[in-house]
A and B are shown apart, each in its own frame.
Chain A
Amino acid sequence: MTLQAWIDGVFTGSIYALVALSLAIVYQPTRVMNFAQGEALILGAVVGYQVISLGKLGWVVAILATLALATLMGVLSERMIMLPVRLSGSRFAWIVATLAAALIFQSIFTLGYRDVDALRPAPMAEGGFTLAGEQVSWQIVLTVAIALAVMAGYDLLLRRSTYGRAIRAASHNPGTAVLMGIPVQRIIVLSFVVATVLSALAGLLAAPVLFIGPAAGLIFTIKGFTAAVIGGVGSPRGALAGGLIVGVLDSVVRTEINATAGNLVVFGLLALILLVYPSGLFGKPMEAH
């Protein structure tokens, strides 16, 4: 009973971790927390449903379509969010801009799939294995493995590569980064694209297992956001740790007590962690500016 809850928790946790990482990728160079991030996850689920369940075109087409559409959505999101943020000059413009983007994408998905309860394609990896009497599907294993690989890869990129250093520099001081010849504007567009692609892939992988409705984007944003804040925004390790904490805790409490208690415990823990570690478990204290 509890083992199954743990397995489910690790699975949803790695999905939350991918959303948390996506949020961090956009946040680093822009200081914008993209509340529309969860909509990218829905895009992945929608493509999976459309291509695999309805179109019967298989996973390869679904992955290619997700990559293409998510790239487009990423470029579009950058325009929809960063243009008003730059033009308005208000410190709070990003809140309205990202929520507006979220609601626009949500409306599109809801209009297109209004009578679909769950965008649920057949799994990429069929079957599974038994672990101590509990069923574990290959889809879950695959998803967790991909999430771990993405986190490790991004962590390495950020720390070791020239581009990673440039992204961190642009994050700290965009004006000076430009003087170094770093194309900060391109890095911002690229960040939106990479974040959207990662979240969309998470959606595509999660759709066969989770119950994802066309209007569920904001829920994933909030869970991903909670994971990012618990772990410390900007650190891939933090995103992973935060995602797993939120996923497992939610799943275990949900199974042992009920769904409402799951949310209560998760957000209670968020409050507690912020009291003890104001910048998250892996985060660095924010600079004053």
Chain B
Amino acid sequence: MSLLEITALSAGYGGVQALFGVELTVGEGEFVALLGPNGAGKSTTLRVLSGLIKPSAGRVLLGGEDITTKPGWRRTGLGLGHVPEGRQVFPDHTVLENLQLGAFVHRRSRTRRQELLDEVLALFPRLDERREQLAGTLSGGEAQMLAVGRALMSAPRLLVLDEPSLGLAPLKVAELFGYIKRLHTERGLSVLLVEQQAATALNLADRAYVLERGRVAISGTSDAVRKDPRVQAVYLGGEISPATG
């Protein structure tokens, strides 16, 4: 049984359908990339996953439990950790407060919260140095680390990252993906990574899905997807800088 199972998922916005029967799974301890151009349905898939929009058809199972109709805030407690697009740290809260908000689902256990905090601060020493600083004053790379650290504070079973490389300098992107890779290999954390930078994502992931116009166009192991002629042509063609905007 997979950790995350999305079956026959269709969804849209007020009459305009954006997803057509999407199938996607993430196994326990697996690193899966979700690729595709802008408007392919990556964000819509994540919105359904986080409970921001209701699908018109299909089901979402997390650890075998049907969460399709569960309100968004309940899903965090069930093991879904989010790193939202654009980081979305709380700028008027300190770094420490941001992390504590990430552990909101563990608010009843002080010892568990402290445990998680020690773990995350050990992982990101830079956040420890800046713990009393307001999150709004962090650099882009630090804010992204905070967003990842904040998601880890809920002790997620599945970490979902939405375009974490967006707006970061290449060096910072490499550093960030280094951390995520470590989380996956050293701690066996399951990861669903939504990325525009297909080459980077395929290097990290075990398997990948490519969405096109709301449908899964290509799926398979990262190696297979990388070798697919369509992917070669559209995404990896001589390493042209990935389409943005």
Contact A180 B92 (CB under 8 A): no
Considering only CB atoms, which chain A residue lies closest to B83 in the complex? Answer: A179
| A157, chain B: closest CB distance, angstroms | 14
Contact A179 B84 (CB under 8 A): yes
Q: Does A31 contact B (CB under 8 A)?
A: no
Cβ 8 A contact of A176, one of B88, B92, B97, B107: B88
Given contacts A179-B88, A180-B104, A185-B71, 17 further A-B contacts (CB under 8 A): A162-B100, A162-B107, A165-B100, A165-B101, A178-B52, A178-B73, A179-B84, A180-B101, A180-B102, A180-B150, A181-B73, A181-B74, A181-B77, A181-B154, A182-B73, A182-B104, A287-B91
Cβ 8 A contact of A173, one of B75, B88, B104: B88
- Report chain A residues within 8 Å CB of B90: 168-169, 172-173, 176
Interface size on A, residues (CB 8 A): 20
Q: How far apart sit A182 and B72, CA to CA, in the bound complex (Å)?
A: 9
Contact A169 B76 (CB under 8 A): no
Number of A-B contacts (CB under 8 A): 63
| A164, chain B: closest CB distance, angstroms | 10
Considering only CB atoms, which chain B residue lies closest to A179 in the complex? Answer: B82
Q: How far apart sit A227 and B70, CA to CA, in the bound complex (Å)?
A: 41
1/0 contact trace for B90-133 toward A, CB 8 Å?
Answer: 11110001001110110100000000000000000000000000
Contact A184 B73 (CB under 8 A): yes
Q: Does A284 contact B (CB under 8 A)?
A: yes
B interface with A by C-beta (< 8 Å): 50-52, 71-77, 82, 84, 88, 90-93, 97, 100-102, 104-105, 107, 150, 154
A residues 169-220 with Cβ under 8 Å of B?
Answer: 169, 172-173, 175-185
| A186, chain B: closest CB distance, angstroms | 8
Top 9 A-B pairs, shortest CB-CB distance:
A181-B76, A181-B105, A179-B82, A176-B88, A178-B72, A162-B107, A183-B73, A178-B73, A181-B104
- Report chain A residues within 8 Å CB of B51: 178
Given that A179-B50, A183-B73, A184-B73 are known contacts, is A165 also in contact with B93, CB under 8 Å in the complex? yes
A residues 232-289 with Cβ under 8 Å of B?
Answer: 284, 287
Q: Does A166 contact B (CB under 8 A)?
A: yes
| A286, chain B: closest CB distance, angstroms | 11
Contact B97 A165 (CB under 8 A): yes
1/0 contact trace for A152-167 toward B, CB 8 Å?
Answer: 0000000000100110
Given that A179-B72, A179-B76, A183-B73 are known contacts, is A168 also in contact with B100, CB under 8 Å in the complex? no
- Report chain B residues within 8 Å CB of A185: 71
Cβ 8 A contact of B101, one of A169, A175, A184, A284: A169
| B152, chain A: closest CB distance, angstroms | 12
